Structure 1
Amino acid sequence: MKTSFPRRRSGGAAVAAALLAVSGLTLAACSSPAHPAASATIAITPGSGQSSLAGMPGSTATGPVTQPPSAAGSMPAMSMPASAAPTPAGVPVATDSVAIKNFAFAPAAITVKVGTRVTWTNQDSDAHTVTSQNNTGPLNSQALNTGQSFSYTFTTPGTYHYLCTIHPFMTATVTVTR
């Protein structure tokens, strides 16, 4: 199939014309008779259950934009965490195991006694590390693939801040007490 494109158009108009020519669609830019080739008009309308589209001129819709239920799971490579009640930020949890899932350490703050061995287990499909922030502490794991674990026994009281060096936004703390 050979497609010919207009030779001279400026900027985005040339791209739009090329896309329309390839797809075989005609798009009406306005209802002026100066555009006789515009035989089809594509309208954007509210979905089921919507009276208007938020942000459109003349729209009266307010509030946050929400995703329709049919869009849930539309990104199969990403999994969203279940709606479990999260631990309030900054409140340490007494545990000796940390899950690495949904690109986060869970729980993000734990408290243990001196001599406790803490184990981190990667439950994500991406690799992660457990590394003391600024490389100034004892935590320094290799990259952990799905299902792999790293353990460390804390022998000195203090607060240990750590992160994933692959995803530095993933941070957490271990508070060690006597």
Structure 2
Amino acid sequence: MSHGIHPRIPRLPALIGALALIGALGLVTACGDPPHRGPASAGITPGAGQSLPGRPGSTGPASVIPEMPNTATAAPTGSAPATPVGPNSVTIKNLAFHPAALTVKAGTTVTWINQDPEPHTVTSQGQGPLRSAALASGARYPYKFTKPGTYKYLCSIHPFMHATVTVTQ
């Protein structure tokens, strides 16, 4: 084993070199005290109108830490579950039909509203009456159910999206 210093750690010199490079770049810092000095002490200076808290000439105390949003609990924009617009409506949002199961009486018109940026369809599974064109974002598809039964449907563009309308007397 002539590759390294220790026969069981043949790549130790490469590992030491990588750690030295990481430290030299200031990518690993702990506290700013020797020997843990980070980028602020490695020659980085603030630009015009900027300051580094805790450095000579700074305008703020050393303990000032910029507040960051808590992204662990914040929901990304547009990812909130959809809420149907009316009692007999189905919202299409986040690649899903909301609600996934709807029960209405015969003679009721159900309206699907696409709130996704991509197009979707409302298409009966197998034989059935639901056959919308591709619905662009903001488009609606109304259908009046006249006969009782269970109507399973999907998006023909995204076949994993499926839902059911149950029509009662």
What interval of TM-score do these two structures reach, taking the shorter chain for normalisation?
0.5 to 0.7
For 1:74 and 1:108, locate their aligned partners in 2 and report how far apart those are by CA, in whole Å. Answer: 22
For 1:176 and 1:72, locate their aligned partners in 2 and report how far apart those are by CA, in whole Å. Answer: 39
- CA contact under 8 A between 1:121 and 1:150: conserved in structure 2? yes
Aligned partner of 1:156 among 147, 151, 158: 147
- CA contact under 8 A between 1:95 and 1:111: conserved in structure 2? no
1:173 and 2:164 correspond: yes
* 1:80 aligned partner, one-letter code: S
Task: Tell me which structure has the larger Cα radius of gyration.
Answer: 2
* 2:21 aligned partner, one-letter code: A
- CA contact under 8 A between 1:129 and 1:141: conserved in structure 2? yes
For 2:150 and 2:92, locate their aligned partners in 1 and report how far apart those are by CA, in whole Å. Answer: 19
* 2:163 aligned partner, one-letter code: A
Deviations 1:126-176 (A, max 9, x none): 100000012x10000000001110011111110000000111111000000
* 1:167 aligned partner, one-letter code: H
Partner of 1:110: 102
Partner of 1:31: 12
For 1:36 and 1:104, locate their aligned partners in 2 and report how far apart those are by CA, in whole Å. Answer: 51
Question: Relative to structure 1, is the Cα distance of residues 40 and 176 closer, same or farther in structure 2, using a 3 angstrom cutoff?
Answer: same
TM-score between both structures, scaled by the size of structure 2? 0.56
Stretches of structure 1 that go unaligned for 5 or more consecutive residues are 1-28, 46-67, 87-93
Sequence identity (%): 53
Question: Relative to structure 1, is the Cα distance of residues 72 and 126 closer, same or farther in structure 2, using a 3 angstrom cutoff?
Answer: farther
For 1:71 and 1:40, locate their aligned partners in 2 and report how far apart those are by CA, in whole Å. Answer: 31
CA offset at residue 96 of structure 1? 1.2
CA offset at residue 74 of structure 1? 9.9
Stretches of structure 2 that go unaligned for 5 or more consecutive residues are 1-9, 29-68
**4+ residue stretches of structure 1 with deviation over 4 A?**
34-39, 71-76
Alpha-carbon RMSD across the aligned residues, in angstroms, is 3.5
Question: Relative to structure 1, is the Cα distance of residues 36 and 128 closer, same or farther in structure 2, using a 3 angstrom cutoff?
Answer: closer
